[in-house]
Amino acid sequence: MSSGKIEISGINKFYGDVHAVRSVDLTIEAGSYCCFLGPSGCGKSTLLRLIAGHETPDSGEMFIDGQSILNTPARDRPTAMMFQSYALFPHLTCIDNIAFSERMHGIDKATRHKNAREILEVVEMSDYADRLPSQLSGGQRQRIALARALITKPKVLLLDEPLSALDENLRVKMRNELKSVQKLFGITFVHVTHTNTEAIATSDKVIVMGDGVVDQEGTPYEIFNHPSSAYTARFMGGHNVLVSQEGHSGQLRLAIGEGQLIDVSKYLTKKQNGLVVAKSYALRRDLCWLEDIKGNKMSAGVENFKSEVDTIEYEGASFKVTLTSGHPEKIIVRISDVDFYKAQFSEGQTVRCCFKIKNLCPLS
Protein backbone atom coordinates (compact mmCIF):
# COMPACT_ATOMS: atom_id res chain seq x y z
CA MET A 1 0.00 0.00 0.00
CA SER A 2 2.59 2.55 1.04
CA SER A 3 5.09 3.63 -1.55
CA GLY A 4 8.46 5.25 -1.55
CA LYS A 5 10.91 2.38 -1.15
CA ILE A 6 14.41 3.68 -1.75
CA GLU A 7 17.20 1.43 -2.95
CA ILE A 8 20.70 2.77 -3.26
CA SER A 9 23.61 0.72 -4.52
CA GLY A 10 27.25 1.58 -4.94
CA ILE A 11 26.75 5.34 -4.90
CA ASN A 12 29.94 7.40 -5.07
CA LYS A 13 30.28 11.16 -5.12
CA PHE A 14 33.49 13.16 -5.45
CA TYR A 15 33.96 16.89 -4.99
CA GLY A 16 37.31 17.36 -6.67
CA ASP A 17 39.64 15.19 -4.57
CA VAL A 18 37.16 14.82 -1.73
CA HIS A 19 35.36 11.48 -1.70
CA ALA A 20 32.13 12.69 -0.09
CA VAL A 21 30.05 9.53 -0.45
CA ARG A 22 31.86 6.19 -0.66
CA SER A 23 30.13 3.21 -2.24
CA VAL A 24 26.97 3.50 -0.19
CA ASP A 25 24.43 0.67 -0.33
CA LEU A 26 21.11 1.25 1.41
CA THR A 27 17.53 0.12 1.44
CA ILE A 28 14.87 2.30 3.02
CA GLU A 29 11.48 0.65 3.37
CA ALA A 30 8.38 2.25 1.91
CA GLY A 31 6.45 4.41 4.33
CA SER A 32 9.17 4.44 6.97
CA TYR A 33 10.82 7.28 8.83
CA CYS A 34 14.55 7.10 8.30
CA CYS A 35 17.29 9.29 9.76
CA PHE A 36 20.78 9.90 8.35
CA LEU A 37 22.80 10.66 11.45
CA GLY A 38 26.36 11.93 11.57
CA PRO A 39 28.60 14.92 12.22
CA SER A 40 28.90 17.70 9.67
CA GLY A 41 30.91 16.69 6.64
CA CYS A 42 30.09 12.99 6.95
CA GLY A 43 28.28 12.94 3.62
CA LYS A 44 24.71 12.67 4.95
CA SER A 45 23.46 15.88 3.33
CA THR A 46 25.21 14.99 0.08
CA LEU A 47 23.48 11.63 0.05
CA LEU A 48 20.14 13.36 0.60
CA ARG A 49 20.82 15.80 -2.24
CA LEU A 50 21.78 12.87 -4.47
CA ILE A 51 18.38 11.30 -3.81
CA ALA A 52 16.67 14.64 -4.50
CA GLY A 53 18.57 15.06 -7.75
CA HIS A 54 20.34 18.28 -6.76
CA GLU A 55 23.66 16.44 -7.09
CA THR A 56 24.70 13.83 -9.60
CA PRO A 57 26.62 10.77 -8.38
CA ASP A 58 29.86 9.70 -10.07
CA SER A 59 28.80 6.07 -10.00
CA GLY A 60 26.09 3.79 -8.64
CA GLU A 61 22.36 3.31 -8.97
CA MET A 62 19.27 4.56 -7.20
CA PHE A 63 15.71 3.30 -7.33
CA ILE A 64 12.44 4.50 -5.90
CA ASP A 65 9.77 1.80 -5.92
CA GLY A 66 11.91 -0.20 -8.29
CA GLN A 67 12.29 2.57 -10.86
CA SER A 68 15.71 4.01 -11.60
CA ILE A 69 15.73 7.73 -10.87
CA LEU A 70 19.22 8.80 -11.80
CA ASN A 71 18.24 9.87 -15.29
CA THR A 72 15.25 11.82 -13.98
CA PRO A 73 15.90 15.51 -13.27
CA ALA A 74 15.12 16.82 -9.80
CA ARG A 75 11.88 18.47 -10.86
CA ASP A 76 10.42 15.20 -12.15
CA ARG A 77 11.51 12.91 -9.31
CA PRO A 78 8.88 11.56 -6.94
CA THR A 79 10.73 13.32 -4.13
CA ALA A 80 10.26 16.64 -2.41
CA MET A 81 12.85 18.37 -0.31
CA MET A 82 12.59 20.53 2.74
CA PHE A 83 15.69 22.70 2.84
CA GLN A 84 17.71 23.48 5.93
CA SER A 85 17.00 27.22 5.64
CA TYR A 86 13.50 26.30 4.33
CA ALA A 87 14.25 28.25 1.10
CA LEU A 88 10.80 29.80 1.06
CA PHE A 89 10.31 32.29 -1.75
CA PRO A 90 10.57 35.64 0.06
CA HIS A 91 8.49 37.49 -2.54
CA LEU A 92 5.50 35.15 -2.32
CA THR A 93 2.89 34.84 0.40
CA CYS A 94 2.52 31.56 2.26
CA ILE A 95 -0.35 30.41 0.09
CA ASP A 96 1.53 31.28 -3.10
CA ASN A 97 4.63 29.54 -1.81
CA ILE A 98 2.57 26.41 -1.31
CA ALA A 99 0.77 26.81 -4.64
CA PHE A 100 4.05 27.32 -6.49
CA SER A 101 4.49 23.76 -7.77
CA GLU A 102 0.92 23.57 -9.08
CA ARG A 103 1.40 26.95 -10.70
CA MET A 104 4.48 25.61 -12.49
CA HIS A 105 2.36 22.75 -13.76
CA GLY A 106 -0.19 25.15 -15.18
CA ILE A 107 -3.01 24.55 -12.72
CA ASP A 108 -5.42 27.47 -12.56
CA LYS A 109 -5.33 29.86 -9.66
CA ALA A 110 -8.66 28.95 -8.05
CA THR A 111 -7.84 25.24 -7.95
CA ARG A 112 -4.31 25.61 -6.69
CA HIS A 113 -5.33 28.07 -3.98
CA LYS A 114 -8.06 25.68 -2.89
CA ASN A 115 -5.54 22.83 -2.67
CA ALA A 116 -3.07 25.05 -0.86
CA ARG A 117 -5.70 26.03 1.71
CA GLU A 118 -6.42 22.37 2.38
CA ILE A 119 -2.81 21.65 3.17
CA LEU A 120 -2.49 24.85 5.18
CA GLU A 121 -5.13 23.38 7.42
CA VAL A 122 -3.14 20.17 7.85
CA VAL A 123 -0.14 22.16 9.12
CA GLU A 124 -2.44 24.45 11.14
CA MET A 125 -1.37 27.59 9.32
CA SER A 126 -4.68 28.67 7.75
CA ASP A 127 -4.55 32.06 9.47
CA TYR A 128 -1.23 32.87 7.87
CA ALA A 129 -2.12 32.27 4.22
CA ASP A 130 -1.48 35.86 3.15
CA ARG A 131 1.60 36.50 5.24
CA LEU A 132 5.06 36.76 3.77
CA PRO A 133 7.77 34.37 4.98
CA SER A 134 9.59 37.28 6.64
CA GLN A 135 6.54 37.84 8.84
CA LEU A 136 6.67 34.31 10.27
CA SER A 137 8.57 32.74 13.14
CA GLY A 138 11.01 29.89 12.58
CA GLY A 139 8.51 27.21 13.49
CA GLN A 140 5.83 28.73 11.25
CA ARG A 141 8.25 28.93 8.33
CA GLN A 142 8.99 25.28 8.80
CA ARG A 143 5.32 24.39 8.60
CA ILE A 144 4.97 26.35 5.37
CA ALA A 145 8.05 24.61 3.95
CA LEU A 146 6.57 21.27 4.96
CA ALA A 147 3.22 22.13 3.34
CA ARG A 148 4.95 23.33 0.18
CA ALA A 149 6.80 20.02 -0.11
CA LEU A 150 3.79 17.85 0.74
CA ILE A 151 1.50 19.43 -1.85
CA THR A 152 3.57 17.85 -4.63
CA LYS A 153 2.35 14.46 -3.35
CA PRO A 154 5.86 13.02 -3.15
CA LYS A 155 6.60 9.39 -2.49
CA VAL A 156 9.63 10.45 -0.52
CA LEU A 157 10.06 13.57 1.58
CA LEU A 158 13.67 14.60 2.13
CA LEU A 159 14.35 16.79 5.15
CA ASP A 160 17.74 18.47 5.43
CA GLU A 161 18.38 19.25 9.10
CA PRO A 162 14.80 20.47 9.45
CA LEU A 163 15.01 21.31 13.14
CA SER A 164 18.45 22.90 13.39
CA ALA A 165 17.15 26.48 13.12
CA LEU A 166 14.70 26.08 15.99
CA ASP A 167 15.19 26.49 19.71
CA GLU A 168 15.27 23.42 21.93
CA ASN A 169 11.61 23.37 23.08
CA LEU A 170 10.25 23.96 19.62
CA ARG A 171 12.58 21.31 18.24
CA VAL A 172 11.07 18.65 20.49
CA LYS A 173 7.56 19.76 19.55
CA MET A 174 8.24 19.89 15.82
CA ARG A 175 9.89 16.49 15.68
CA ASN A 176 6.71 15.01 17.10
CA GLU A 177 4.69 16.83 14.46
CA LEU A 178 6.95 15.62 11.67
CA LYS A 179 6.47 12.08 12.88
CA SER A 180 2.68 12.42 12.95
CA VAL A 181 2.61 14.04 9.50
CA GLN A 182 4.67 11.12 8.21
CA LYS A 183 2.14 8.68 9.66
CA LEU A 184 -0.76 10.69 8.28
CA PHE A 185 0.58 10.73 4.72
CA GLY A 186 2.12 7.27 4.86
CA ILE A 187 5.10 8.28 2.76
CA THR A 188 8.80 7.74 3.29
CA PHE A 189 10.60 10.45 5.26
CA VAL A 190 14.36 10.75 5.07
CA HIS A 191 15.59 13.11 7.75
CA VAL A 192 19.17 14.33 7.98
CA THR A 193 20.41 15.34 11.41
CA HIS A 194 23.51 15.58 13.56
CA THR A 195 21.52 15.28 16.79
CA ASN A 196 21.34 11.72 18.09
CA THR A 197 18.29 12.37 20.31
CA GLU A 198 16.39 13.69 17.29
CA ALA A 199 17.22 10.58 15.28
CA ILE A 200 16.23 8.22 18.08
CA ALA A 201 12.99 10.02 18.80
CA THR A 202 11.67 10.21 15.26
CA SER A 203 12.85 7.33 13.19
CA ASP A 204 12.03 3.74 12.44
CA LYS A 205 15.50 3.30 11.09
CA VAL A 206 18.71 5.17 11.89
CA ILE A 207 21.62 5.23 9.48
CA VAL A 208 24.80 6.37 11.18
CA MET A 209 27.25 7.87 8.71
CA GLY A 210 30.88 8.76 9.07
CA ASP A 211 33.41 9.91 6.50
CA GLY A 212 31.17 9.14 3.53
CA VAL A 213 30.28 5.58 4.53
CA VAL A 214 27.39 3.99 6.41
CA ASP A 215 28.83 2.99 9.75
CA GLN A 216 25.77 1.23 11.12
CA GLU A 217 22.08 0.95 10.31
CA GLY A 218 19.29 -0.34 12.47
CA THR A 219 16.37 0.56 14.67
CA PRO A 220 16.98 3.34 17.19
CA TYR A 221 17.04 0.66 19.91
CA GLU A 222 19.72 -1.35 18.15
CA ILE A 223 21.82 1.69 17.39
CA PHE A 224 21.67 2.97 20.95
CA ASN A 225 22.01 -0.30 22.81
CA HIS A 226 24.22 -2.25 20.46
CA PRO A 227 26.50 0.14 18.66
CA SER A 228 28.69 -1.90 16.37
CA SER A 229 31.67 0.42 16.26
CA ALA A 230 33.49 2.79 18.58
CA TYR A 231 32.56 5.56 16.15
CA THR A 232 28.83 4.97 16.52
CA ALA A 233 29.13 4.45 20.27
CA ARG A 234 30.93 7.77 20.66
CA PHE A 235 28.61 9.61 18.31
CA MET A 236 25.45 8.32 19.96
CA GLY A 237 26.75 9.60 23.25
CA GLY A 238 25.82 8.00 26.55
CA HIS A 239 28.54 5.37 26.14
CA ASN A 240 31.99 4.84 27.55
CA VAL A 241 34.34 3.14 25.13
CA LEU A 242 36.71 0.70 26.85
CA VAL A 243 39.67 -0.41 24.77
CA SER A 244 40.80 -3.99 25.29
CA GLN A 245 44.28 -5.42 25.32
CA GLU A 246 44.79 -9.04 24.42
CA GLY A 247 47.67 -10.46 26.38
CA HIS A 248 49.52 -13.72 25.89
CA SER A 249 47.79 -16.99 26.69
CA GLY A 250 44.32 -15.73 25.80
CA GLN A 251 44.12 -13.01 28.43
CA LEU A 252 41.71 -10.14 27.89
CA ARG A 253 42.09 -6.92 29.81
CA LEU A 254 40.29 -3.61 29.62
CA ALA A 255 42.32 -0.43 29.76
CA ILE A 256 40.89 1.79 32.46
CA GLY A 257 43.72 4.26 32.65
CA GLU A 258 47.45 4.52 32.34
CA GLY A 259 48.72 1.21 33.59
CA GLN A 260 45.31 0.39 35.05
CA LEU A 261 43.78 -2.73 33.56
CA ILE A 262 40.90 -4.97 34.48
CA ASP A 263 41.35 -8.64 33.72
CA VAL A 264 38.12 -10.00 32.32
CA SER A 265 39.55 -13.25 30.93
CA LYS A 266 37.52 -15.40 33.26
CA TYR A 267 34.30 -14.26 31.63
CA LEU A 268 35.40 -15.48 28.20
CA THR A 269 34.93 -19.13 29.11
CA LYS A 270 31.47 -18.85 30.60
CA LYS A 271 28.81 -20.25 28.39
CA GLN A 272 25.97 -18.03 29.44
CA ASN A 273 26.46 -14.29 29.03
CA GLY A 274 29.97 -15.12 27.88
CA LEU A 275 32.10 -12.20 26.77
CA VAL A 276 32.98 -12.04 23.09
CA VAL A 277 36.53 -11.00 22.31
CA ALA A 278 36.58 -7.56 20.69
CA LYS A 279 38.95 -4.67 20.13
CA SER A 280 36.86 -2.45 22.34
CA TYR A 281 33.59 -2.41 24.23
CA ALA A 282 30.85 0.13 24.70
CA LEU A 283 29.43 0.55 28.17
CA ARG A 284 26.39 2.70 28.76
CA ARG A 285 27.16 5.49 31.20
CA ASP A 286 23.85 5.09 32.98
CA LEU A 287 24.53 1.37 33.53
CA CYS A 288 27.67 2.10 35.55
CA TRP A 289 27.40 3.03 39.20
CA LEU A 290 29.65 4.33 41.92
CA GLU A 291 30.16 2.86 45.35
CA ASP A 292 32.03 3.88 48.43
CA ILE A 293 35.67 2.75 48.46
CA LYS A 294 35.07 0.70 51.62
CA GLY A 295 32.28 -1.03 49.74
CA ASN A 296 30.97 -4.54 50.13
CA LYS A 297 31.83 -7.65 48.21
CA MET A 298 30.87 -7.61 44.56
CA SER A 299 28.12 -9.89 43.30
CA ALA A 300 28.77 -12.27 40.43
CA GLY A 301 29.23 -10.80 36.98
CA VAL A 302 30.09 -7.39 38.36
CA GLU A 303 33.51 -5.83 37.83
CA ASN A 304 34.85 -2.71 39.45
CA PHE A 305 37.85 -0.45 39.55
CA LYS A 306 39.04 2.34 41.78
CA SER A 307 39.14 5.85 40.52
CA GLU A 308 38.89 9.44 41.56
CA VAL A 309 35.99 11.79 40.81
CA ASP A 310 37.28 14.45 38.42
CA THR A 311 34.23 16.67 37.80
CA ILE A 312 30.53 16.61 38.59
CA GLU A 313 27.97 18.17 36.28
CA TYR A 314 24.32 18.65 37.23
CA GLU A 315 21.93 17.68 34.42
CA GLY A 316 18.60 18.01 36.19
CA ALA A 317 17.27 14.49 36.45
CA SER A 318 20.78 13.08 36.64
CA PHE A 319 24.38 13.89 37.46
CA LYS A 320 27.24 13.39 35.05
CA VAL A 321 30.26 12.27 37.04
CA THR A 322 33.55 12.25 35.16
CA LEU A 323 36.29 10.05 36.59
CA THR A 324 40.02 10.57 36.27
CA SER A 325 40.37 7.05 34.81
CA GLY A 326 39.75 6.14 31.24
CA HIS A 327 41.71 5.62 28.09
CA PRO A 328 41.74 7.35 25.62
CA GLU A 329 38.84 9.40 27.01
CA LYS A 330 37.76 9.73 30.61
CA ILE A 331 35.06 7.42 31.91
CA ILE A 332 31.75 9.07 32.66
CA VAL A 333 29.08 7.72 34.98
CA ARG A 334 25.53 9.02 34.81
CA ILE A 335 23.76 8.74 38.16
CA SER A 336 20.13 9.59 38.82
CA ASP A 337 19.72 12.60 41.11
CA VAL A 338 18.06 10.43 43.75
CA ASP A 339 21.07 8.07 43.95
CA PHE A 340 23.47 10.97 43.84
CA TYR A 341 21.90 12.81 46.77
CA LYS A 342 21.93 9.57 48.77
CA ALA A 343 25.67 9.04 48.29
CA GLN A 344 26.85 12.67 48.11
CA PHE A 345 29.92 12.24 45.95
CA SER A 346 32.35 15.13 45.74
CA GLU A 347 35.10 16.08 43.36
CA GLY A 348 38.47 14.56 44.28
CA GLN A 349 36.86 11.69 46.20
CA THR A 350 38.14 8.16 45.60
CA VAL A 351 35.31 5.85 44.53
CA ARG A 352 34.71 2.40 43.23
CA CYS A 353 33.17 2.34 39.73
CA CYS A 354 31.11 -0.81 39.06
CA PHE A 355 29.55 -2.34 35.98
CA LYS A 356 28.05 -5.64 34.87
CA ILE A 357 30.01 -7.68 32.39
CA LYS A 358 26.83 -8.46 30.45
CA ASN A 359 26.45 -4.75 29.72
CA LEU A 360 29.71 -4.67 27.79
CA CYS A 361 28.83 -4.32 24.13
CA PRO A 362 31.56 -5.58 21.79
CA LEU A 363 32.66 -3.12 19.09
CA SER A 364 34.39 -3.89 15.85
Nearest distance from C-beta of residue 118 to other proteins, angstroms: 17
Q: Say if CB 262 and CB 311 are below 8 A apart.
A: no
Is 56 one of the binding residues for other proteins (CB under 8 A)?
A: no
Choice between 100 and 345, CB closer to other proteins: 100
Is 9 one of the binding residues for other proteins (CB under 8 A)?
A: no
Binding to other proteins by CB under 8 A, coded x per residue (else -) over 142-181, reads ------xx--x-----------------------------
Choose one: 99-107, 161-169, 226-234, 245-253; the region binding other proteins (CB under 8 A). Answer: 99-107
252 Cβ partners below 8 Å, 6+ apart? 244, 245, 246, 263, 264, 265, 268, 275, 277
Please give the sequence-ordered ranges of beta strands (E in DSSP) within 211-343, or none if there are none: 213-218, 239-246, 252-257, 260-263, 280-284, 289-292, 302-314, 318-323, 332-336
As beta bridge partners, residue 216 has 208
Angle at 331 between CA 329 and CA 332, to 5 degrees: 120
- HSE-CB at 170 with a 13 A cutoff on CA atoms is 13
Which of 103, 117, 306, 358 binds other proteins (CB under 8 A)? It is: 103
328: how many CB neighbours lie within 10 A of its CB?
7
Choice between 109 and 270, CB closer to other proteins: 109
Q: Report the candidate in 284, 179, 174, 272 with the shortest Cα–Cα distance to residue 227.
A: 284
Choice between 35 and 88, CB closer to other proteins: 88
Which of 6, 20, 26, 81 binds other proteins (CB under 8 A)? It is: 81
Choice between 88 and 278, CB closer to other proteins: 88
Provide the binding-site residues for other proteins, judged by CB under 8 A.
Answer: 52, 54, 73-76, 79-81, 83-85, 87-93, 96, 99-101, 103-105, 109, 130, 132, 148-149, 152
